[in-house]
Chain A
Amino acid sequence: MVNKIWGSFIVIGLFYGFITGKIDMMNQEIIECGSSSFELFFSMFPMMILWSGIMKIAQEAGILEFLSRLLRPFFSLIFPELKKDDPALQYIASNLTINMLGIHNASTPFGLKAMKCLQEENPKKDTASKSMITFLVLNTSGVTLIATDILAVRSGMGSVNPTDLLLVTILATILNTTFALLMNAYLGRRER
């Protein structure tokens, strides 16, 4: 699936670029893609290292376990197939908490670690398990409660009251996450 999406992005993009005469742009992209992704990588990489270190400390101090215990009722609802003390849940809990606070680069190491834990229990290694998809849906539907980057831009561009969208955004997040989880449960049941 990822293979097909990726391939079609490239083929369709290039083809449409050709017929609309954007060959220069296409050239430029192929040449510059390496350095632009390197730039993104290097803006993330130190953050990932730092937060992997802090994550380890949080784990040793029992904070991750505390978080996952706190979210247990919610988890047993959306991850009915996982055991209550599944190690993946600790990372999922931390990933969600940090995402809620809007620190996306910091949450990525927790998310990757959670996926790795889920993969260990996954019977078919090349196929996504149900819990993996649920976790993914939680992430892509977005659980950010305070989007600090947007706040910063809005106040920087002279919004009268940059924070007046805060509650609306939280409401939108809660609603779309709920709908997405319902859809996810439905799709999961249908495919079994």
Chain B
Amino acid sequence: MNLGAFGNYVLPMVVLLIIGVALFKNVSLFDTFIEGAKDGIILGFQVFPCLLGMIFGINLLLRSHLISDILGLFSPLFSLFNFPKEILPLAFIRPISGNASFAMMIDIFKTYGVDSYLGRIAAVMQGATDTTIYVISLYFGSIGIKNIRYALKAGLFADFVTLVISVLLVSLLF
């Protein structure tokens, strides 16, 4: 089976399943939908300030190019360990901004090729983890958590593991 085409079925199937079961169980579908959708509006407005604030901070940091400049300084060190340093900017941006890292992944595809070693690492890394800082600020911001304890540590640890695992797996398997 072509799994790429399978991807197209995911969303419609989920909708079909939910609505189908509900129809079968005699849920008053449209009323319930409207009721839930109203909650969605409130939820959206609650989330927007977090979103705006986070994008503001993240973009200022990204646009200053501080991260890429720092990585440039360390690149001889990574070549020493035979580590694909071209992937590092992506690894650093991945926990901070999903959109920026997605754009970087496409950039790596364009520069080195979709099916290249680097292209594959980029794709696995982008797919296997989610945006830590974004999730923390959105989820905790929406309920007013100020002390996040060890959440950032644990989240960034996951991102670091993903970097190592992506490089290892792609090196071993392709």
- Give the B-binding residues of A (Cβ under 8 A): 1-3, 5-6, 9-10, 12-17, 20, 22, 25-26, 28-30, 33-34, 36-38, 40-41, 44-45, 48-63, 98-99, 101-104, 106, 108-109, 111-113, 115-116, 119, 124-128, 132-133, 135-137, 139-142, 144, 146-155, 157-163, 165-166, 168-169, 171-173, 175-177, 179-180, 183-184, 187-188, 191
B54 within 8 A of A: yes
The total of chain B residues at the interface (CB under 8 A) is 101
Asked whether, in the complex, the Cβ of A142 is within 8 Å of the Cβ of B128, the reply is yes
Which positions 111-150 of chain B face chain A at CB distance < 8 Å? 114-115, 120, 123-133, 135-150
- List A contacts of B63 (CB < 8 A): 13, 17, 22, 25-26, 28-29
Asked whether, in the complex, the Cβ of A63 is within 8 Å of the Cβ of B33, the reply is no
Asked whether, in the complex, the Cβ of A13 is within 8 Å of the Cβ of B47, the reply is no
Partner of A50, one of B3, B27, B40, B106: B40
Asked whether, in the complex, the Cβ of A40 is within 8 Å of the Cβ of B51, the reply is yes
Partner of A9, one of B3, B57, B162: B57
Asked whether, in the complex, the Cβ of B35 is within 8 Å of the Cβ of A112, the reply is no
Instruction: Knowing A6-B54, A53-B37, A169-B128 are in contact, say whether A151-B7 is a contact too (CB < 8 A).
Output: yes
In the A-B complex, list the 6 residue pairs whose CB atoms are closest, starting with the nearest: A56-B36, A52-B40, A13-B60, A180-B158, A53-B37, A147-B127
Which positions 34-90 of chain B face chain A at CB distance < 8 Å? 34-37, 39-41, 43-44, 46-48, 51-66, 69
Asked whether, in the complex, the Cβ of A13 is within 8 Å of the Cβ of B64, the reply is yes
- List 22 A–B pairs whose Cβ atoms lie within 8 Å, in order of A's numbering: A37-B55, A48-B43, A53-B32, A54-B33, A56-B32, A56-B37, A57-B19, A60-B32, A61-B27, A104-B130, A108-B138, A126-B145, A127-B145, A128-B147, A137-B155, A141-B162, A142-B162, A151-B4, A165-B123, A169-B127, A179-B161, A191-B150
Asked whether, in the complex, the Cβ of A57 is within 8 Å of the Cβ of B162, the reply is no
Q: A143–B110 Cα gap in the complex (Å)?
A: 27
Q: A132–B149 Cα gap in the complex (Å)?
A: 11
Q: A191–B131 Cα gap in the complex (Å)?
A: 24
Q: A25–B62 Cα gap in the complex (Å)?
A: 11
Partner of A157, one of B2, B109, B133, B151: B109
Partner of A48, one of B17, B44, B53, B61: B44
Partner of A176, one of B8, B53, B65, B129: B129
* B142 → chain A closest CB, angstroms: 5
- List A contacts of B4 (CB < 8 A): 151, 155, 162-163
Asked whether, in the complex, the Cβ of B158 is within 8 Å of the Cβ of A41, the reply is no
Partner of B40, one of A6, A26, A109: A109
Q: A155–B145 Cα gap in the complex (Å)?
A: 41
Asked whether, in the complex, the Cβ of B139 is within 8 Å of the Cβ of A115, the reply is yes
Q: A37–B99 Cα gap in the complex (Å)?
A: 12
Q: A127–B46 Cα gap in the complex (Å)?
A: 19
Asked whether, in the complex, the Cβ of A51 is within 8 Å of the Cβ of B40, the reply is yes
Asked whether, in the complex, the Cβ of B124 is within 8 Å of the Cβ of A116, the reply is no
